Amino acid sequence: MRNLVSVTAAVMVLATVALAADTITATEAKNHIGENATVCGVVASARYADRSKGQPTFLNLDKPYPDAIFTILIWGDDRAKFGTPEATYRDKRVCASGVISEYRGQPEIVAREAKQIREQ
């Protein structure tokens, strides 16, 4: 029984360390294009572009648009899963998990599920 408890504790510690190792700042995201990671920062600006193609919602971390350094993108087809993210997350510290891609030279994560974004 003691062995099982020790093994379980060791697995939990390793899992926690592994998760922490994949957490990066919005500034660091540009160095991790193509990687699956968790990017954290404060939502400095947020906009729902309801009249734009695809009806995107943009959550810009740490610096507001047009000087954004990292964006969480939610497409209109997925928006209902998030409620009103531009209001919910504005000025809050959040973490977004997923594959970091690049659009026009800026890193972003496309969030398709609400579980990809969490408040800190």
Domain containing 74: what range? Answer: 23-119
pLDDT digits (tens, 9 = 90+) for 54-107: 999 999 999 999 999 999 999 999 999 999 999 999 999 999 999 999 999 999
**Residue 57 and residue 86 in contact, taking contact as beta carbons nearer than 8 Å:** yes
How many helices (H) and strands (E) are present in the chain, helices listed first? 2, 7
If one counts the domains in the chain, the total is: 1
Residue 47 placed within a domain: yes
Residue 80 placed within a domain: yes
In this predicted structure, what is the pLDDT of residue 88?
Answer: 98
CATH for 108 = 2.40.50.140
pLDDT digits (tens, 9 = 90+) for 12-45: 434 433 444 489 999 999 999 999 999 999 999 9
**Residue 85 and residue 110 in contact, taking contact as beta carbons nearer than 8 Å:** no
